[in-house]
Amino acid sequence: MGFSRGVLGSFLVAMMIFYGASGEPLVPAFCIMGDSVVDAGNNNNLLTLVKANFPPYGRDFVTHKPTGRFCNGKLATDFTAEYLGFTSYPPPYLSQDAKGRNLLTGANFASAASGYYDRTAQLYRAISLTQQLSYYKEWQNKVVRMVGKQRANTIFSGAIHLLSAGSSDFVQNYYINPLLNRAYSPDRFSDILMKSYSTFVQIGVTTLPPTGCLPAAITLFGGGGNQCVARLNRDAVSFNNKLNSTSQALVSRLPGLKLVVFDIYQPLLDLITKPADNGFFESRKACCGTGTIETSLLCNARSIGTCSNATEYVFWDGFHPSEATNQILAQDLLEQGISLIS
């Protein structure tokens, strides 16, 4: 991230905190769908191996306890909720906290290992996007019952909706599944994902990150090298171009739709290629364990080599950013999505 962008992000955060000081959030609700990048604990309640509800996950979180977030601390969406003026984070919809008036300010429906391609979620026993959308409609009905249809419609129309998906479809399915990668080119697989995305009209959607630079991706697909896997990054760029063009088509077809595509690719790539410029020491290896592959069950309290200070690392585990990175990415989201709350 360049100096001017960083200053702008900090300025916007300060302004939002100032205007949100009245105690009222800048938007009535914040709803989240997607994968492990934004899952705040829904997978804790599933019969799946893709979980993060054990140490060292959560060691730097507010409670210093694992919550199910795939991070040492806060997710980018946690910081976003704070910047918007919320005093609590959207509760995981399957958790005990997702009840009563806690639901009036939104909910988190995301599930690690989910994606646009429902079979990705089925492969890992995660919550598919189709099911997440069903839970979202269930949430709407609960809100209507609590506050009435008129106030509920005000909440729904003013809420920010964020969708983060696609990485699991590629890294945890397509690239390792011969039934897919022999049947479809990366470009054709992206087309299939776009058809699914078109049915999830959201207000904000994130691009793919530079998947070829994820520590685990370098280990699995880098041929023994220590550099970003160019092939995977090209696929991510191609997917992101399709995401942008599909989103533009949706806006043209649906008058009044407020839709922002949040670019995660370039901000994260900047941190990876110029870590020292952004206060980081390491961007090729993650903090947890050897930093080359560990995630979920492989990133645990017995993992040998886990770093003592995750703020120096761009990545927390083999697939997911550290809290320090998430804070920077959240500022980028804020800059790009200011139109949604202005």
Which of 167, 320, 322, 332 is labelled catalytic? 320
CA distances (Å), 311 to each of 136, 252, 275, 279, 324, in order? Answer: 34, 42, 12, 9, 5
Check if 317 is active-site. yes
CB atoms within 10 A of CB 280: 20
CB atoms within 10 A of CB 212: 22
- CA count, 13 A, side-chain hemisphere, 84: 31
Question: Whose CA is closest to 108, among 87, 128, 92?
Answer: 92
Q: Are 334 and 26 in contact (CB under 8 A)?
A: no
- Residue 61 phi/psi, 5-degree rounding, is -70, 170
Which of 39, 235, 263, 317 is labelled catalytic? 317
Distance CA 267, CA 338 (A): 17
Check if 320 is active-site. yes
Sign of CA dihedral 3, 239, 318, 206: positive
Question: Whose CA is closest to 110, among 173, 52, 64?
Answer: 52
Question: 3-state SS of 17-36?
Answer: HHHHHHCCCCCCCEEEEECC
Sign of CA dihedral 307, 309, 224, 318: positive
Which of 36, 114, 247, 283 is labelled catalytic? 36
Check if 36 is active-site. yes
Q: Are 12 and 79 in contact (CB under 8 A)?
A: no
Q: Are 124 and 171 in contact (CB under 8 A)?
A: no
Residues known to be catalytic: 36, 317, 320
